[in-house]
Structure 1
Amino acid sequence: MNVTSGTTTILSVGLHPTALDYSRIPGLDEETLTARIAAGDRALHDAGLDVVSCLLPADPDTAETVLRGCAADTPFAVVMIGAGLRVSPEHTLLFERIVNVVNALSPGVKYCFNTSPETTLDAIRRWVQPKVR
């Protein structure tokens, strides 16, 4: 089931580049990741998608507060949760908290998942089709 982007706001949730331990990620640093995220966000906006980007700290309590601020008063039909929140065992509690908060704020929301900032648009397009003009 796909929704039309003209009637949908997408919440894109990921770890803030300052929240990562780069010693565990060979070949990646904060500056590079920041640039990749910015390029991914530009691609979403260039595709005409209505996206709210929400970059979270690693602390679950603080992340919940930030997430609630990003999602305040906005109905989301699709939530994209980035790989950084899902694939690292040290972020399991954070990922669990984020999913449960989103479920409470937007019951019935559809989820999609990327594997990198470069695959975010593809992940969203699995659920959101561009509005026919």
Structure 2
Amino acid sequence: MRKDTRVLFIGLHPRSLDYSTVPDGVDEASLTERIAAGEAALREAGFDGVTCLVDASPDSAEAAVREQLEGGGFGLAVIGGGIRMLPEHTLLFERLVNVLIEAVPGIRLCFNTSPETTIDAVQRWIDA
């Protein structure tokens, strides 16, 4: 994959998290700042990406992702840890994976563990 591959970054909107289930010290404001810093690092590294922050409703999230995909041209999608790693979001994660596979045959998926590791996740597939 090439560095000019268009990337869709899908994450749970910070207002949608139940902060009693995430590590200590993380709150909406700090997570919002971390997401913004991760996006800035990706832009500075020259990646062409679109961020799609979704809420916890599978229907709403699916609609938001489908809307972003209408612009076309995505070769890679990152699905954030807030969606994948919390058991209460299993259905949300399944729905998003299936939407991506259906809407963009051949899209590659990658996964971060935090906003700070998004660039590492993308780089793994760009270099592949």
Q: Could you say which TM-score interval applies, normalised by the shorter chain?
A: over 0.9
CA distance in 2, matches of 1:82, 1:121: 12
Q: Write the deviation string for residues 80-125 of structure 1: whole angstroms up to 9, x where unpaired.
A: 1111110100000000000000011111111111000000000000
Residue in 1 that maps onto 2:96: 98
> Mean Cα displacement is larger for which, 78-87 or 32-41?
78-87
Q: Write the deviation string for residues 3-59 of structure 1: whole angstroms up to 9, x where unpaired.
A: 1122x1001111000110012222110000000000000000000000011100000
Residue in 1 that maps onto 2:21: 24
Structure 1 segments (4+ residues) deviating >6 Å: none
Residue in 1 that maps onto 2:10: 13
Residue in 1 that maps onto 2:59: 61
Residue in 2 that maps onto 1:88: 86
Gaps of 5+ in 1: none
Tell me the TM-score normalised to structure 2 length. 0.95
C-alpha displacement at 1:75, in angstroms? Answer: 2.0
Tell me the TM-score normalised to structure 1 length. 0.91
